[in-house]
Structure 1
Amino acid sequence: MQNLEILGLFGASMILIGYFGLQVQYFTHDDLSYDIINLVGALMLTVYAYISGTISFVILNAIWSLVALKDIYFYFKKKACQK
């Protein structure tokens, strides 16, 4: 198995682990760990898609990364306001 395939498999696994954790209520939409898992997985898949030359998946996963970053930003903003 090539390094690129491993990157793609790990990225997809991260996204699926986050989704599964959400479905079995291990995570909630507000959990920082859920957002970090999504961010890391989406970034890995963005790199994988870029190197593979599949622009539509680059766009999809880049947007997924931005959504996760937005959630992480608001998580810390909310924490700062609670102090």
Structure 2
Amino acid sequence: MARIEMDVDDELLGRAALALGTHGAPETVLAALRAAARPGPRPEVPGPLPGERPARSPHDPPGPLDPPARPGDFPRPPEIR
């Protein structure tokens, strides 16, 4: 186990102990580190919003904002007159 020294504000430590239900600084810090390292649930990917266009199919013709077919193959910019 590694030994680490750090300064923690007493008010912050007290609030963390109250939220985590722990007693004493070492127990509170260890519980906070374990809670921070625990993997959480995977976030849900939201569906399309009402009225939003569906995602384009790869079979659709390329649009003006699509990446070029070959890297570095960009169209010429319009001439400014």
Superposition TM-score, scaled by structure 1 size: 0.27
Q: Which has the higher helix share?
A: 1
Larger Rg, first or second structure (1 or 2)? 2
Superposition TM-score, scaled by structure 2 size: 0.28
